Structure 1
Amino acid sequence: MEIEDTLLMMPGPVPVAPRVLRAMSKPMINHRGAEFSAMYDDCCEVLADVFQTKNDIFILSGSGTAAMEAAVACTVGPEDTVVALENGKFGERFKDIIARYGKVNPLENEWGHSFDLEEVEKKLEEGAEAITLVHNETSTGIQNPAKEIGKLAKKHDALFIMDGVTTLGGDTVMTDDWGVDVAVVGSQKCLAAPPGLSMISVSERAFEAMEKKDSLPYYLDLKAYKKSGGKSQTPYTPAVPLFFGLQEALHIVKEEGMDARINRHATGAKAIRAAADAMGIEMFPQLNDDNSHYSNTVTAMKAPEGVSGNDIKKDMIARGITIAGGQAHLSGKIFRIGSMGNVQPKDIMLTIQELEVVLKKRNVVSDIGAGVEAASDVLDTLL
């Protein structure tokens, strides 16, 4: 199978529109000139709607993890305590980053289990300068209660730092209304741009915290980004071709409209869940309260008894569709299908069709068609 024919149905990177690829092939420009400044401002204008914020927005030449580190490194000092909420791989990553800059007070849940808000509040009552949350934990397919965590952070005067890497641009995120002081997103997820850029929104409260820091990182210094941002520039050399791609991807977001884009993502995920149920495949996340929900950008499912999730992944790749397996201790136990970015109903239908064939060959289902029919019934609402 030629790589150009492979359909990416994983939780990022995602398929990139041809017009985005064409934009990236434009000739180089002066990254300190008026043309770049206009592009930077254009990107930030669309991103303000994506983030739903009036806070400063900066674009970093670095992946989502770079933005996560910038969020922590610029606001957390050696004597600061941060409540790190972890119920998946990326919550664990936030915890590990915090440990390099400050003191971690972790609340570690079994991966795929939602947070008890009373337990979160108990952690904050112990004293904390900040709290971190992964809004959408793609490693387990669970969406965490950002709005409620934001209320608790405000109540206890803690900065709220949120990873919105796989929801911003594809699901409802209300940065200002939820009281998010620092929110981050990666280019290669719901925004459907190539990997390599991250975007970060920063509140005045977060900048006030930076004023109390004895030192800030060099490349990820958000105060430097604020200074340069006032001139519609980046403090250091930007990845210009990626900016070209991001601008075009954001134009696609603007043309579709955020409400329609959010509905498309939610409907796609609902269709995959309906197909899984029709095929007798059990969802992975354990939603034990009303505060957490299934992800609207990636669906995690338990591997059927006697079949490894990694084998399902390999079988799908052999059929030209890349899905994801489980991470860390979940390897082989689950498999995941992404539905973010510019994924269309036909992509979901093809994925479910091929998945049914794979499951039939492995004697998981006896007949083909139930999953396709269930997914089609949901996706028809988009037509």
Structure 2
Amino acid sequence: MLLMIPGPVHLHERIQLAMAKPMIGHRTKDFSEILEYCTEMLKKLFGTKHDVFIISGSGTAGMEAAIACFSKVKRITCIDNGKFGDRLGKIAERYTEVDVVRFEWGKSIELDEVEKSLAEGSEALAFVHNETSTGILNPARELAKIAKKYDALVIMDGITSVGGDYVAMDEWGVDVAIVGSQKCIGAPPGLCAVAVNDRAWEFYNEKCPFYLDLKAYKKKLEDWQTPYTPAVSLFFALQEALKIIEEEGLENRIRRHRELSAFVRKWVEEAGLELFPELNEYSQYSNTVTAIKMPEGITDKELRGELKEKYGILISGGQEHLKGKIFRIGTMGNVTIRDVVTTLACIERILVKRGIIKPVLGEIEA
């Protein structure tokens, strides 16, 4: 099965083989060396010189750690213009008062609305950088700038942008950021990382979840250890995935992600289909997933079902109220132009057969 979804992504053979290594003790020098390498490499991906803590848990575990550990605020503003912005708000509601600034899913963030919430007393801002549910890249730099105007803590979900798009946590003024292993990094699901600068600790809440208490991770990181038993085989995989990124070069990797997503968008345009996100002057199309409106004449079940059963390719549909209305093509991780062209060719074949579009793929330069 060719995975062309916004995570989990196809695993490079080297990463699969890395997980087959014999088990090692997690309190040994061997593991410490792996943890140190992964931590230092992740700092480069986050664009930070500050601490990075790797947790054995999914991206959502990282989201909760970021919110819960730094929830010593009267109120937090959470931006919801997609599934994962909505999730940030739901997590935050468990720890403090929340002002959810909502926009229709797929619509761009209006900065004035965010500033209004902060001006009314929020002491923190949480948002998703790359909203994969709608295929939109939110304006991280501009949002962080507004938050700093009100001296608010800035928490950024970079789960699907870190390692695949430009992220500059320190430069932008982001205090806390999150990434998941199974997205742009190209590793298996099951690990996440939270990057934390020094200022964030002013907002530390000691009543955060025991397992996700980042202060415990910070203390053990002094000895290049984790506070609890880590998923060792996943660390083997993460180490290999980060080596592949280092070999490719982060700038080259970001360029590849951007070129592949641009190719998908060009195909959408030439085929007469319609992209789902509606952009303003601050937002952009995602470079790791493309969200496309479902054309008339075919259902989600027919399109994705035939693509999976006949061609062995898996793409994603819409989530919640967007089910059946959009389909999404992932371009993240170690994906290649061959993977993208193959996917588009098969989708095109299905749509051409039904008379929905005319063949166009041969006219587009890779």
> Smaller-chain TM-score range?
over 0.9
Cα pair 1:72 1:98 within 8 Å, conserved: yes
Cα pair 1:274 1:371 within 8 Å, conserved: no
Match in the other structure for 1:128: 122
Match in the other structure for 1:171: 165
The counterpart of 1:63, out of the listed 58, 64, 70, is 58
- Matched residue of 1:41: which SS? helix
Match in the other structure for 1:3: none
Cα pair 1:150 1:178 within 8 Å, conserved: yes
CA distance in 1, matches of 2:214, 2:176: 11
Cα pair 1:275 1:372 within 8 Å, conserved: no
The counterpart of 1:11, out of the listed 3, 6, 21, is 6
The counterpart of 1:327, out of the listed 316, 319, 323, is 319
Match in the other structure for 1:110: 104
Partner letter of residue 97 of structure 2? K
Match in the other structure for 2:74: 80
* 1:95-136 deviation line (CA, Å, top 9, x unaligned): 000011111101000000011111111110011121111000
1:68 to partner: Cα distance: 0.2
Match in the other structure for 1:315: 306
Partner letter of residue 298 of structure 1? V
Partner letter of residue 194 of structure 2? I
* 1:295-349 deviation line (CA, Å, top 9, x unaligned): 0000000000232234211121121110000000000000000000000011111
Partner letter of residue 243 of structure 2? H
2:282 maps to 1:291? yes
Partner letter of residue 160 of structure 1? V
> Residues 89, 185 of structure 1: CA spacing in aligned structure 2 closer, same or farther, 3 A cutoff?
same
CA distance in 1, matches of 2:180, 2:108: 23
Identity of aligned residues (%): 53
Partner letter of residue 197 of structure 1? L
CA distance in 2, matches of 1:253, 1:233: 23
Match in the other structure for 1:92: 86
2:266 maps to 1:271? no
Structure 2: where are the runs of 5+ without partners? none
Cα pair 1:51 1:175 within 8 Å, conserved: yes
- Matched residue of 1:251: which SS? helix
Show the 5 A alignment for 1:115-264: 115-210=109-204, 213-264=205-256
Cα pair 2:297 2:356 within 8 Å, conserved: no
Matched residue count: 365
Partner letter of residue 286 of structure 2? S
1:372 to partner: Cα distance: 4.2
Partner letter of residue 16 of structure 2? L
* 1:239-271 deviation line (CA, Å, top 9, x unaligned): 000000000000000000011000000000000
CA distance in 1, matches of 2:49, 2:201: 14
- Matched residue of 1:57: which SS? strand
CA distance in 2, matches of 1:99, 1:76: 10
1:229 to partner: Cα distance: 0.8
Cα pair 2:71 2:95 within 8 Å, conserved: yes
Two-structure CA RMSD over aligned residues (Å): 1.0
Cα pair 2:62 2:192 within 8 Å, conserved: yes
CA distance in 1, matches of 2:38, 2:210: 24
The counterpart of 2:15, out of the listed 20, 26, 34, is 20
* 1:160-198 deviation line (CA, Å, top 9, x unaligned): 000000000000000101111110000000000000000
Match in the other structure for 1:362: 354
* 1:38-87 deviation line (CA, Å, top 9, x unaligned): 0000111111111110110010000000000000111114x621100000
Cα pair 1:31 1:237 within 8 Å, conserved: yes
Cα pair 1:353 1:372 within 8 Å, conserved: no
TM-score of the pair, normalised by structure 1: 0.94
Partner letter of residue 29 of structure 1? I
CA distance in 2, matches of 1:156, 1:274: 40
CA distance in 2, matches of 1:158, 1:310: 44
Show the 5 A alignment for 1:40-55: 40-55=35-50
Match in the other structure for 1:336: 328
CA distance in 1, matches of 2:234, 2:43: 19
Cα pair 1:310 1:331 within 8 Å, conserved: no
